[in-house]
Amino acid sequence: MKGKSITNLKISIAVVVLATLACVCGSTNTGQKIGESTSSSNTPGAAQISVYKAGDLIQVGNSTVIMNTATIDNNVLHANFTIDNKGSSDMNISSVLNFSAKDSEGVVLDQDYFDCGSSMDGTILPGDKLKGDICWKVQSANPIKIYFEANIYSSGAIVWEVTR
């Protein structure tokens, strides 16, 4: 009897894990600017990335994100964000895992952790917000693209473009 209950437990665990992966892997990090029409004029078969600018309020899943400001000074890109959790469960945000930046040649920029302002790391409870700063070291190559992945296990990203 014990062997049968252990086997059933293993099967139950496997089903839960697969169902969770199906839910997570099926989601996407792409968003839509609030107030923008859902119709699109994309060419069939062509991948189209929406690129946003500072001040655009973007809905992604059960949250909204806005890049409040972005400036490049002394070869440092300083960006300020606000994320509003409109869902019913906690959101964990990491400046290292959820955000990245690349120059126009595709070179991934290193984050600059010193003298950047308030951190963009933490847990956002349902109905709460997180506001903070992230900085990257800029070598050259305008423009810079900043990427936000609300769920690191899903495809796509919110993309902002910043120029000097």
Rounded Cα gap, residues 96 and 154, in angstroms:
16
In DSSP terms, 91 is beta-bridged to 124
Residues 17-67 pLDDT 10s: 333 333 444 466 777 777 754 433 344 555 678 999 999 999 999 999 999
Calpha distance 158→160 (Å, rounded): 7
Distance in angstroms (rounded) separating the CA atoms of residues 85 and 95: 16
Average pLDDT along the chain: 82
Give this prediction's pTM. Answer: 0.75
Place of tokens 């792409």: 30
Chain segment 128-157, per-residue pLDDT in tens: 999 999 999 998 778 999 999 999 988 999
Give CA–CA dist 80/69, Å, rounded.
5
Please enumerate in sequence order all residues whose Cβ is within 8 A of that of 106, keeping only pairs 6 or more positions apart, or say none.
Answer: none
Give whole-number Cα distances, 83 to 16, 101, 108, 120, 153, in Å.
Answer: 30, 18, 23, 9, 19
